[in-house]
């Protein structure tokens, strides 16, 4: 009896003390795949965001209406699976005291889970998921008031760049290879649409799909080869992209490979090895310390996590900048209430200096007719990267000014 | 040769070489079935654990040639463990509990691998040269050749040992008639344990030669057990030669159907082959019909 009373007192006092603490912290959730095929992106995004949080907390936290509040972090692994992602979103949206969510790598997870945040009005910044569907689902539904923002170069921009690059290389006939997920299928559609938009200079001679987990792409590649493709446009994630690269090597099918930014995933670069060299993909950030703006972030990341190479530099930098933008929005809102944070994200007054760019009012009031209102990146923010001996470097050195300069939209 | 035919030939050859891997895993079924009339439905997981063990050994600096035998020893230990932990008791009680128990041990293996090595697929480094060889316009990679030659080599080695060593002959005696073997002074329990250990070693070896092609991950073997079992059933559970043919046929059929009908249909021929074999020739194409005298 006595023992149970003691336990009860302890329980009560601890719950009271956390209750008291909750008053002067801002709770932010980070979700993403921290295991599975998309883990390099999820982990880098999380670690980039955590780096920002620890810097903010070391400086005393966010000034919210006169009180300094530290950021408290909740992390959830969605394993890159749609159903798991939906459960995570349900859990976080029912916690009641979460101010905002950052994350999601897999477009399917955003499509399945984000409705729970929208129902509760919880602010979410999607990064680095790039699939068009995660924003267009809201414009199609005509949602009036949207607390979902994106901080990534969406597939529309990426497909545009891929097609531009293919044209720049002088290709006439291309094959499209894509995975059978939401991401791959919508990427394929974006590519086809972009080819039309850019005047139909490219002819698509083969469209082939593959499943997650496929290791042998010879069949798809033979069809591409036989149809006379001079280049392969790719939409998928790391492990399968690596299988495409090694299949190409095996068949001696030496044509350029251009695809979504997933070609910069470490599990593509490491698994493909030499076969991956020369693969081209859009990037918002390049891990190159000779870029003045990027250097402090790259060095801080290497030091904080004891690595010489960021698994997914784009995800890490986007996680970092998104967190900085969110912190600024919470400060400007003077409140930890999601509705007020949303309003200030839509109208940021101060320019935030990030690892990627100086962000001056990246988002504006949501307009269901125009998804761009909640998209932070434009074509002008993005450069072409190229895999070279285990790293991603600039494909067109002239684009260094984009990464260096003040990429104000 | 026209391009269409060359493409088909390429698909068939690539599939056939991978099919040797199915044959090797199926050979593991055959070994334990011959001796103890039970098979390990967690055989694919032993393949996966063998591959991961090999990867870790290479990770700590062992060369490939040394890592493979050590991984095989680990595989042998695991095979022996599965027999002692999951199979022996069930067989002594003359029930089919071993089916479920070997599956459960396999699932434990997956959980252990996820916790030890993580859920991600990892590349498996090999000392073979990069790039591919060409025969009559058909490309073959070194890791694929390693699968074929490794599988044939190990199977030949075990078959020879079965025929020409005392231990091998003892195991064969037990598989023919355990009671009579006991009367001749052979400990049939030890002989069965031995066959499980050899089966485990073969699985681990399979892991180290498949992984360079498929990468290593906890789920790499999920479909392998089923495919290898199809091969074993189609070929019959007592023909080593039949396994190789059935393995090649299944691998090629998979690749061709994936190529001709679309990648979603890859798995179909294996299942159709299994159903046909069970319906038309349950003892297997190369199997001997066992007539039970009552």
**Residue B121 and residue A267: Cβ atoms within 8 Å?**
yes
**Overall average pLDDT of the B141-150 stretch:** 91
Residues in chain A closer than 8 A to B258 (CB atoms): 219
Q: Measured between alpha carbons, how far is A205 from A95 in angstroms, rounded to an integer?
A: 51
The structure tokens listed for A200 are: 């139909």
- Domain shared by A149 and A36, yes or no: yes
Q: Which residues contact A70 (CB under 8 A, 6 or more apart)?
A: A24, A25, A26, A57, A60, A61, A62
Residues 227-256 of B with CB under 8 A from A: 255
Closest residue on chain B to A239 (Cα): B121
Q: Are the CB atoms for B146 and B128 separated by under 8 Å?
A: yes
Distance between CA atoms of residues A246 and A238, nearest Å = 12
Q: What is the DSSP letter of A395?
A: S
| Tokens (6 digits) for A171 | 């290709």
pLDDT digits (tens, 9 = 90+) for B205-229: 999 999 988 888 888 887 888 888 8
The verdict on A143 and A20 lying in the same domain is yes
- Answer whether residue B191 shows pLDDT above 60: yes
Structure tokens at B218: 């906890």
Question: A101 and A90 in contact (C-beta within 8 Å)?
Answer: no
pLDDT band (50, 70, 90) for residue B139:
confident
| B275 φ/ψ angles, rounded to the nearest 5 degrees | -65, -45
Q: Using CA atoms, how far apart are residues B54 and B51, in angstroms rounded to an integer?
A: 5
H helix intervals, B215-267: 224-235, 240-261
In a domain, A409, yes or no: no
B14–A267 C-beta distance less than 8 A: no
How far is residue A203's CA from residue A41's CA, in Å, rounded to a whole number?
32
Q: Work out the average pLDDT over B82-90.
A: 87
**If you ran DSSP here, which 8-state letter would residue A284 be given?**
S
Residue A141 lies in a domain: yes
A128: preceding bond cis by omega (within 30 degrees): yes
Q: How many domains does chain A have?
A: 2
Contacts of residue B11, defined as CB under 8 A and 6 or more positions apart, other chains included, come to A218, A219, A222, B252, B255, B256, B258, B259
ipTM: 0.77
| pLDDT (average), residues B18-35 | 90
Tokens 């996966």 identify what position? Answer: B48
**Contact yes or no for A267 and B213 at CB 8 A:** no
Residue B225 CA to residue B110 CA, distance in Å, equals 13
Residue B26's pLDDT band (cuts 50, 70, 90): very high
Tell me which residue in A216, A219, A274 faces B130 most closely, judged by beta carbons: A274
What six digits make up the tokens of B129? Answer: 């040269």
pLDDT over 80 at B288, yes or no = no
DSSP character for B165? S
* B positions 179-218 inside 8 Å of A (CB): 213-215
A373 pLDDT higher than 50: yes
**A316 has a pLDDT exceeding 90:** yes
Whether A160 and A149 map to the same domain: the answer is no
CB-nearest to B119 from A35, A218, A226 is A35
Would you place residue A130 in the very low, low, confident or very high pLDDT band (cuts 50, 70, 90)? confident
Does the structure show a pLDDT above 90 at A116?
yes
What is the pTM assigned to this prediction? 0.79
Distance, CA of A272 to CA of B218 (rounded, Å): 20
Q: How far apart are CA A390 and CA A392, in angstroms?
A: 7
CB contact under 8 A, B263 and A274: no
Instruction: Give the per-residue pLDDT at B293.
Output: 60
* A252 contacts chain B (CB < 8 A): yes
Query: Does one domain contain both A274 and A397?
Result: yes
Mean pLDDT of A353-376: 91
Same domain? For A271 and A398 the reply is yes
Q: Do A133 and A8 have their domain in common?
A: yes
Helix (H) or strand (E) holding B33: helix B3-36
* Nearest residue to A372 via CA among A115, A56, A132: A132
Q: Are the Cβ atoms of A219 and B264 closer than 8 angstroms? A: no
pLDDT bin (cut points 50, 70, 90) of residue A92 is: very high
Give yes or no: residues A247 and A212 share one domain.
yes
User: Residue A76 is encoded by which pair of tokens?
Assistant: 């959830």
- B263 near A CB under 8 A: yes
Contact A36 B120 (CB under 8 A): yes
Chain A residues touching residue B14 (CB < 8 angstroms): 216, 218
Interface contact A270-B14, CB threshold 8 A: no
* In contact, B61 and B289? CB cutoff 8 Å: no
CB–CB contact B10 A222 (8 Å):
yes
Listed by start position, the domains of chain B span 3-221
Binned at pLDDT 50, 70 and 90, residue A6 comes out as low
Handedness of CA A139, A143, A144, A149 (dihedral sign): negative
CA distance B210 to chain A (A): 11
**Is the pLDDT assigned to residue B197 strictly greater than 70?**
yes
Length of chain B: 294
- B1 pLDDT more than 60: no
Domain that holds residue A174: 156-283+384-404
pLDDT bin (cut points 50, 70, 90) of residue A323 is very high
Characterize the bridge pairing of strands A358-359 and A383-388: unpaired
According to the model, what pLDDT value does residue A2 have?
Answer: 54
Q: Is the pLDDT of residue B157 over 50?
A: yes
A117 in reach of chain B (CB within 8 A): no
Question: Does residue A40 fall inside a structural domain?
Answer: yes
Q: State what percent of residues in chain A have pLDDT above 90.
A: 60
Q: Which helix (H) or strand (E) holds A361?
A: none
Class of residue B176 by CB neighbours under 10 A (exposed 0-12, middle 13-18, buried 19+): exposed
Q: What is the mean pLDDT of chain B?
A: 87
Same domain for A266 and A171? Answer: yes
A391 strand-pairing partners: A388
Measure in Å the smallest separation between the Cα of B69 and chain A Cα atoms: 24
The predicted pLDDT at position A20 comes to 40
Using the Cβ of A216 and the Cβ atoms of chain B, whether some distance falls under 8 Å is answered with: yes
Q: DSSP letter for B85, please.
A: I
Question: What's the CA gap between A156 and A148, in Å, rounded?
Answer: 18
Nearest to A214 among B4, B141, B263 (CB): B263
Q: Is A218 on the interface with B (CB under 8 A)?
A: yes
More confident position, B15 or B122? B15
pLDDT in tens, A135-149: 988 988 888 889 999
Residue B35 binned pLDDT confidence (cut-offs 50, 70, 90) = confident
**Structure confidence at residue A122 (pLDDT):** 93
Q: What is the CATH number of the domain that holds A203?
A: 3.40.50.2300
**Alpha-carbon distance B127 to B93, whole Å?**
48
Query: Nearest-CA neighbor of A162 among A21, A12, A263?
Result: A263
Q: Which of B74, B70, B75 is nearest to B58 (CA)?
A: B70
- Segment B242-271, tens digit of pLDDT: 899 999 999 999 889 888 887 778 888 878
First to last CA, chain B: 58
Q: Return the SS3 of A309.
A: coil
Per-residue pLDDT, A332: 93
pLDDT tens-digit readout, A32-70 = 999 877 888 999 999 999 999 999 999 999 999 888 999
Of the partner residues B4, B121, B263, the one whose CB lies closest to the CB of residue A37: B121
> Which residues on adjacent β-strands are paired with residue A173?
A203
Is the pLDDT at A22 greater than 50? The verdict is no
Give B36-85 pLDDT, tens digit per residue: 888 888 899 999 999 999 999 998 988 999 999 999 999 999 999 999 88
Strands (E), A16-127: 25-32, 62-64, 67-77, 100-103, 123-126
CB pairs < 8 Å spanning A and B? 69
Residues A176, A208: Cα–Cα separation, whole Å: 6
Q: Is A22 an interface residue toward B (CB < 8 Å)?
A: no
Tell me the two tokens of residue A265: 């995933």
CA atoms of A386 and A169, how far apart (whole Å) = 14
**Average pLDDT estimate for A145-173:** 92
Measured between alpha carbons, how far is A155 from A161 in angstroms, rounded to an integer? Answer: 10
Predicted confidence at residue A23, as pLDDT, reads: 59
Element (H, E) at A151: none
Q: Is A78 helix (H, G, I), strand (E, B) or coil?
A: coil
Helix axis angle, B240-261 relative to B3-36, nearest 10°? Answer: 140
pLDDT at A1 over 80: no
């Amino acid at each position: 009896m006595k023992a149970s009373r003691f336990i009860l007192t302890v329980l009560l006092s601890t719950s009271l003390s956390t209750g008291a603490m909750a008053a002067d912290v801002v709770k932010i959730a980070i979700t993403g795949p921290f295991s599975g095929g998309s883990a390099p992106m999820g982990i880098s995004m999380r670690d980039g965001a955590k780096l920002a949080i620890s810097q903010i907390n070391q400086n005393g936290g966010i000034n919210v209406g006169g009180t300094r509040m530290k950021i408290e972090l909740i992390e959830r692994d969605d394993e890159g699976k749609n159903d798991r992602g939906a459960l995570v979103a349900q859990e976080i949206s029912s916690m009641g005291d979460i101010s905002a969510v950052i994350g999601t790598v897999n477009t399917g997870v955003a499509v399945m889970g984000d409705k729970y945040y929208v129902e509760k009005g919880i602010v979410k910044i999607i990064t680095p998921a790039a699939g068009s569907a995660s924003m267009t689902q809201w414009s199609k539904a005509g949602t009036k008031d949207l607390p979902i923002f994106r901080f990534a170069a969406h597939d529309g921009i990426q497909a545009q760049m891929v097609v531009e690059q293919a044209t720049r290389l002088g290709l006439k006939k291309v094959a499209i290879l894509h995975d059978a997920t939401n991401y791959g299928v919508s990427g394929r559609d974006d590519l086809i649409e972009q080819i039309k938009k850019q005047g139909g200079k490219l002819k698509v001679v083969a469209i082939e799909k593959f499943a997650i987990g496929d290791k042998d792409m010879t069949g798809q590649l033979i069809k591409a080869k036989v149809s006379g493709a001079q280049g392969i446009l790719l939409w998928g994630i790391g492990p399968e992209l690596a299988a495409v690269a090694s299949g190409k090597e095996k068949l001696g099918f030496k044509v350029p490979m251009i695809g979504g930014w997933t070609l910069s995933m470490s599990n593509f670069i490491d698994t493909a090895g030499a076969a991956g060299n020369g693969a081209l993909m859009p990037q918002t950030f390049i891990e190159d310390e000779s870029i003045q703006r990027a250097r402090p972030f790259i060095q801080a990341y290497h030091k904080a996590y004891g690595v010489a190479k960021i698994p997914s530099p784009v995800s890490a930098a986007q996680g970092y900048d998104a967190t900085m933008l969110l912190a600024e929005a919470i400060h400007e809102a003077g409140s930890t209430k999601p509705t007020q944070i949303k309003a200030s994200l839509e109208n940021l007054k101060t320019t935030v200096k990030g690892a990627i760019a100086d962000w001056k009012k990246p988002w504006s009031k949501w307009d269901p007719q125009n998804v761009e209102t909640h998209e932070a990146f434009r074509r002008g923010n993005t450069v072409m990267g190229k895999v070279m001996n285990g790293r991603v470097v600039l494909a067109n050195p002239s684009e260094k000014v984009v990464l260096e300069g003040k990429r104000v939209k | 040769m026209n391009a269409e035919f060359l493409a088909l030939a390429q698909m068939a050859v690539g599939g056939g070489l991978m099919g040797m891997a199915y044959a090797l895993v199926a050979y593991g079924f055959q070994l334990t079935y011959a001796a103890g009339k039970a098979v390990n439905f967690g055989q694919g997981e032993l393949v996966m654990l063998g591959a991961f063990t090999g990867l870790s050994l290479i990770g700590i600096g062992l060369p490939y040639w040394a890592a493979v035998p050590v991984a095989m020893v680990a595989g042998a230990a695991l095979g022996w463990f599965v027999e002692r932990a999951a199979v022996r008791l069930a067989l002594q009680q003359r029930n089919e509990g071993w089916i479920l128990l070997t599956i459960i041990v396999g699932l434990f293996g997956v959980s252990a691998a996820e916790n030890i090595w993580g859920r991600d697929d990892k590349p498996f480094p090999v000392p073979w040269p990069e790039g591919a060889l060409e025969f009559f316009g058909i490309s073959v990679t070194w890791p694929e050749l390693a699968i074929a030659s490794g599988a044939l080599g190990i199977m030949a080695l075990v078959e020879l040992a079965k025929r020409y060593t005392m231990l091998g002959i003892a195991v064969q005696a037990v598989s023919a008639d355990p009671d009579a073997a006991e009367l001749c002074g052979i400990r049939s329990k030890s002989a069965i344990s031995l066959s499980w250990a050899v089966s485990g070693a073969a699985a681990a070896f399979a892991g180290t030669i498949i992984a360079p092609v498929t990468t290593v991950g906890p789920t790499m073997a999920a479909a392998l057990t089923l495919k290898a079992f199809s091969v074993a059933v189609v070929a019959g559970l007592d023909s080593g030669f039949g396994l190789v043919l059935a393995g090649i046929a299944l691998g090629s059929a998979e690749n061709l159907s994936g190529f001709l009908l679309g990648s979603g249909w890859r798995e179909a021929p294996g299942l159709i082959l299994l159903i046909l074999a069970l319906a038309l020739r349950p003892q297997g194409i190369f199997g001997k019909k066992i007539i039970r005298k009552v």
